[in-house]
Amino acid sequence: MAIAAFVVACLALLASAASAWFARGQKHAADLAVAEAQRAADAAAETVRIEQARRADEVAEAERNRVRFELIPDIASNGATWYLQQAGTDTAYGVHVDTGDLLGSSGQVTTFNEFPAGDQQQLVLLRTTDTTTERIEVTWHQRPDHSDPQQSVSLLVR
């Protein structure tokens, strides 16, 4: 009887050891699942952050392209005639072109009430030996009532 009790006790000890071993494996698997879920949540949050940054960049790029001025040389004029082109998508209002000490033709208009997208204006920009200006400054508003902050860009006269 004592031997039978000993055998039963040994079998119970083996069963509890196996149960403990199995529980340890289950805990390890649960820890791995939690770590994987955390990585997935972090990856999802990073994807959202990247998408928000991309969208903000798109909005900023669209805003920058609303009004965009370019200075294009007229090759035939030997560097004296330039075209100020509005390459944006919206009309610019209250446009003023500061040509510095670059000489222009008499009566040359450098202020425009409206400068529509795709439009261009001819500018005569002559250099003399005393000329120090290398850039023209273009200022404008994006609203017809000029209630927005004035925008500006500096364009190189090559």
pLDDT in tens, 73-90: 988 877 788 999 999 999
Q: What span, in angstroms and rounded, lies between the C-alpha atoms of 31 and 19?
A: 18
**What was the pLDDT predicted at 106?**
54
**pLDDT tens digits, one per residue of 117-126:** 999 999 888 8
Structural domain boundaries of the chain? 1-64, 68-156
Indicate the CATH number of 68-156 among 3.40.1130, 3.40.50, 2.60.120, 2.60.40: 2.60.40
Q: How far apart are CA 75 and CA 79, in angstroms?
A: 7
Instruction: Give the confidence band of 30 by pLDDT, cuts at 50, 70, 90.
Output: confident
- The CA distances from residue 126 to 5, 25, 108, in Å, are 114, 84, 12
What integer pLDDT is reported at residue 119 of this predicted model? 94
